[in-house]
Homo-oligomer: A and B are copies of this chain.
Amino acid sequence: MAQISRIGLLSRSIVNIRGRCRSTSAAAALKLVPGEYDGPSMKTEVPGPRSKELIQKYTNVTLNGYTVNFCVDSHSSLGNYVVDADGNRMLDAFCQISSLPLGYNHPDLLAIATDPNNANVLSARPSLAMFPNMDYPEKLEKLVKTMAPKGLKHMQTMMCGSCSNENAIKQAFIRYRHRERGGNPTEEDLSSAMRNQAPGSTNYTVLSFDGGFHGRTYACLSLTHSKPIHKVDIPAADFPCAPFPRLKYPLKEFETENRAEEDRCLVRIRELIDERKQAGGPVAAVIVEPIQAEGGDFHATPYFFRNLQQICKETGAAFIVDEVQTCCGATGHFWAHEAWDLPEAPDFVTFSKKLISGGYFFKEEFDPKFGARIFNTWMGDPPKLLMMEAVVDVIKRDGLLELTRESGAHLQTGLEDIQNKYPQHLHSARGAATFCAINTTDSAVLPKLQANMRNKGVLVGTCGTNTLRFRPALIFQPHHADIILDTLESAVKEL
């Protein structure tokens, strides 16, 4: 998916020289979504009075209300711009927690939702593992060919990121036990499992990382170590947790220190796996994000991941790459792990968010070759797959990976310029394509900076304790980056 496209070339010719075009006129730029607005337009602080009223209503009937930022006018939102209930129009660089691939109301997705041929798919929720529609096997076959990570040929669709991780882990447990036992479950395995007891219920564990986030169902939450409020008061499985590298940025300037930090973590990972094996709770899988996103946008280098895969191979643990947030292009590769140049594919690659459907790819050797071991009522959702298919097509047709690399380079250069101007406030600008972040020196400043940017018309996310994160859609162009950079600089000046 790396071809240079028509639109990539066009947008480059408009933008000219990276990092030097903060005055690019949006009106003059080619719009990837026809009719997209020329810029933000603010009428009230956010949330405004209408949003506040709706949030109150919402809080009366559901937990969702507590965390709402503002309510969206989904008919008016378009492309990179979200319009709220008070008529405020913001450039959205957070995109529904990093989950909008093509922004708001993309014509190709609307076309699917208005095609009468799709009505029976859009209105039904079939049991894909018992009675799939007759066009589904071929649709899945085609999707696997189009989008599978190199070396993987099997996909299991799911509902969301958490159930993708839960089921990938289950498959890893099943495979580990089959290899250990040398065959199918015994009668004793089957009967003891019904009572949640050994040997049928295994003592296997999964290793995850400090600062990692893998979802919030029981197993996923036991693997999540990003914020205590996610976990407190809830029981957890006794799974081991290793340090994830805490590198210095820019990575190129600190290669020696960063290599030492990665080696320190790799040593500790091996130790933990050994300790657990000896304690009778072997590590059946290691799960890792390519960039720790919720935890604070922590990066590691390809060296770290290649060595991590090697440790998995040596110890028999499945190597699960959780690409729920990094999948689908925002890092400049369709799959973030493509940047690592691994000698072979990961054992599992899980996805969700921008791909609209949840799911995972897996190596054939992890296929239990037996029905109903990985199973639930729906096993995915065909309407989401229709959307996923279109997203993948649009990325190719419009050269969005190239655009994302270009817009990302522009955004990163701009972030570096700003942190060099305001080192008392900002540091550690970093990113892979548009999957960017920058830290505030004072964590108390973070929410103020975010709110100030929002009131000026730019929506960005936060993560960790002091990190501003940028998660624009794949239709984000250099002139949008200029708006972010101007707004960030203006907000920093007011600190």
| Residues of B contacting A140 in the complex (Cβ-Cβ under 8 angstroms) | 58, 61-62
Contact A173 B99 (CB under 8 A): no
Task: Name A71's contact: one of B68, B133, B372, B379 (CB within 8 Å).
Answer: B133
Given A218-B218, A379-B64, are A126 and B163 also a contact pair (CB < 8 Å)?
A: no
A217 touches B66 (CB 8 A): no
* Contact of A376 with B235 in the complex, beta carbons under 8 Å: no
Which candidate, A16-24, A117-125, A406-414, is the interface stretch facing chain B? A117-125
Beyond A66-B369, A113-B118, 13 additional pairs, beta carbon < 8 A: A54-B137, A61-B154, A64-B157, A66-B372, A71-B134, A110-B123, A113-B122, A161-B376, A185-B233, A190-B228, A204-B235, A217-B219, A219-B219
Most chain B CB within 10 A, of A137, A162, A185, is at A137
**Given A58-B136, A130-B96, A163-B162: A114 in contact with B105 (beta carbons within 8 A):** no
User: Given B132, B200, B202, B234, which contacts A174 in the complex, CB threshold below 8 Å?
Assistant: B234
Query: Shortest beta-carbon distance, A205 to chain B, in Å?
Result: 8
Q: How far is the CB of A201 from chain B (nearest CB, A)?
A: 4
Q: Is the CB of A124 within 8 A of B157?
A: no
Q: Which residues of B contact A369 (CB under 8 A)?
A: 66
A26-66 interface with B by 8 A CB criterion: 50-51, 54-55, 57-58, 60-66
Query: Is A275 part of the binding interface, using a Cβ–Cβ cutoff of 8 Å?
Result: no
Which of B61, B106, B235, B367 is the one whose CB lies under 8 Å from A202?
B235
A222 located at the interface, meaning its Cβ lies under 8 Å from any Cβ of chain B in the complex: yes
Can you name the residue of chain B whose Cβ is closest to the Cβ of A85? B134
Cα distance, A123 to B60, chains bound together (Å): 28
Task: Tell me which of B55, B122, B167 contacts A122 (CB under 8 A).
Answer: B122
Task: Verify A132–B64 contact, CB threshold 8 A.
Answer: yes
Evaluate contact between B162 and A376: CB separation under 8 angstroms: yes
Within the complex, the shortest CB–CB distance from A358 to chain B, in Å, comes to: 8
- List 6 A-B pairs, minimum CB-CB distance, nearest first: A66-B371, A218-B219, A58-B137, A190-B228, A196-B236, A177-B233
Q: How far is the CB of A331 from chain B (nearest CB, A)?
A: 18
Give Cα A84–Cα B134 distance, bound, in whole angstroms. 8
A495 at the interface (CB under 8 A from B): no
Neighbour of A159 across the interface among B63, B64, B124, B159, CB < 8 A: B159
Q: Is A375 an interface residue (CB 8 A)?
A: yes
Chain B residues near A201 (CB, 8 Å)? 231, 234-236
A449 contacts the other chain (CB 8 A): no
Q: How far is the CB of A98 from chain B (nearest CB, A)?
A: 8
Instruction: List chain B residues, Cβ under 8 A from A85.
Output: 134
Q: Which residues of B contact A307 (CB under 8 A)?
A: none
Tell me, yes or no, whether A487 is within 8 Å of chain B by CB.
no
Give Cα distance in the complex from A370 to B233, angstroms: 14
A195 to B432, CA, bound (A): 29
Distance (whole angstroms) from the CB of A265 to the closest CB of chain B: 17
A contact residues, total (Cβ < 8 Å): 134
Do A229 and B373 form a contact, CB below 8 Å, given A68-B131, A153-B61?
yes
Closest chain B CB from A186 CB (angstroms): 9
* Closest Cβ–Cβ distance, residue A218 to chain B (whole Å): 4
Known: A160-B159, A193-B233. A129 touches B64 (CB 8 A): yes
Asked if A110 and B120 make an inter-chain contact with CB atoms under 8 angstroms apart, the answer reads yes
**A262-B389 Cα distance, complex, nearest whole Å:** 52
User: Are B141 and A60 touching (Cβ within 8 A)?
Assistant: yes
Residues of B within 8 A of A58 (CB): 132, 136-137, 140
Q: Smallest Cβ distance from A386 to chain B, in angstroms? A: 9
A346 CB to closest chain B CB, in angstroms? 18
Distance A165 CA – B120 CA, assembled complex (angstroms)? 29
- Structural contact, B234 and A237, CB atoms closer than 8 A: no
Pick from A72-80, A313-321, A394-402, A475-483 the stretch touching chain B.
Answer: A72-80
* Binary CB contact string for chain A from 85 to 125 against chain B (1 if under 8 A, 0 otherwise): 10000000000110110001110011011101011111111
Which of B75, B126, B241 has a CB less than 8 Å from the CB of A120? B75
Q: Does A378 contact B (CB under 8 A)?
A: yes
Could you list 21 A-B pairs, sorted by A, with CB under 8 Å? Answer: A55-B137, A61-B140, A69-B130, A74-B120, A99-B377, A100-B124, A104-B124, A122-B122, A125-B387, A159-B159, A170-B234, A174-B233, A190-B228, A190-B229, A194-B231, A200-B232, A201-B236, A202-B235, A230-B372, A230-B373, A352-B377
Task: Return chain B residues, CB-CB under 8 Å to A73.
Answer: 133-134
Is the Cβ of A123 less than 8 Å from the Cβ of B132? no
Verify if A264 is at the interface (C-beta below 8 Å from B).
Answer: no
Bound form: Cα–Cα A118–B105 in Å: 11
Is A191 in contact with chain B by the CB < 8 A criterion?
A: yes
